[in-house]
């Protein structure tokens, strides 16, 4: 089994550019609520993929929902690595999910909201546990509906390294990716 904290550190190191001002390279004080909303946005995109049975725009051989769930995991690992939250062994942490995909994705979204409630309380140990619960529940969703989210995560991380819209000059352009 992969050490989740090593993976979080590795993903955070690969995403370090998102924690720096693209004009000055100074470290940003990232807003944790915004970062969690970006996870929710990935879950929303997964819902659209499920609802319309779409293939992904970037990894066209994979279902959109599978890739968006991978994106959610990448964001969660980056969040944990960047903020110093310690992740645990995920066994037994996933919640039971409905057979209805929308209800199941909503349940995962509620878990992300719970992480947001904890960060406001500065319960760092509990926050790490709950981030692990979200990751484990995404894995449970993947298993339930036949997705290879970890495989998609590997492919998406490789793809993200060469994306033109992730480069500093693109981020600084009008309508460039911010945060």
| 174 in any annotated domain | no
| 157 in any annotated domain | yes
Q: What percent of the chain has pLDDT over 90?
A: 80
Query: Mean pLDDT in the chain?
Result: 92
Residue 40 has pLDDT above 60, yes or no: yes
Q: Name the pTM for this structure.
A: 0.92
How many C-alpha atoms does 23 have within 13 Å on its Cβ side? Answer: 5
CB 143 within 8 A of CB 137: no
| 154 in any annotated domain | yes
**Average confidence (pLDDT) over 51-70:** 98
Q: Which domain holds residue 37?
A: 4-16+31-166
Q: Count of domains in the chain?
A: 1
> What is the pLDDT at residue 127?
95
Determine if residue 173 is left, alpha or beta; phi over 0 gives left, psi from -120 to 50 gives alpha, anything else beta.
beta
| 124 in any annotated domain | yes
Express each pLDDT in 94-122 by its tens digit.
999 999 999 999 999 999 999 999 987 77
Express each pLDDT in 154-177 by its tens digit.
999 999 999 876 666 666 667 666
| 179 in any annotated domain | no
| 35 in any annotated domain | yes
Q: What percent of the chain has pLDDT over 70?
A: 92
């Amino acid at each position: 089994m992969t050490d989740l904290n090593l993976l979080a550190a590795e993903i955070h190191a690969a995403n370090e550019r998102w924690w720096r001002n693209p004009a000055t390279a100074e470290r940003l004080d990232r807003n944790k609520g915004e970062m969690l909303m970006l996870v929710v946005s990935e879950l929303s995109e997964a819902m659209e993929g499920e609802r319309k049975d779409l293939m992904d725009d970037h990894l066209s051989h994979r279902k959109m929902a599978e890739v968006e769930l991978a994106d959610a995991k990448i964001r969660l690992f980056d969040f944990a690595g960047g903020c110093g939250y310690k992740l645990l062994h995920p066994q037994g942490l996933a919640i039971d999910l409905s057979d209805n995909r929308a209800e199941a994705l909503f349940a995962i979204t509620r878990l992300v909201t719970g992480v947001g409630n904890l960060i406001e309380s500065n319960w760092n140990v509990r926050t790490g546990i709950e981030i692990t619960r979200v990751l484990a529940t995404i894995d449970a969703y993947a298993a339930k509906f036949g997705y290879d989210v970890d495989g998609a995560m590997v492919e998406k991380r490789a793809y993200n390294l060469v994306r033109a819209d992730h480069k500093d000059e693109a981020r600084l352009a009008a309508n460039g990716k911010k945060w």
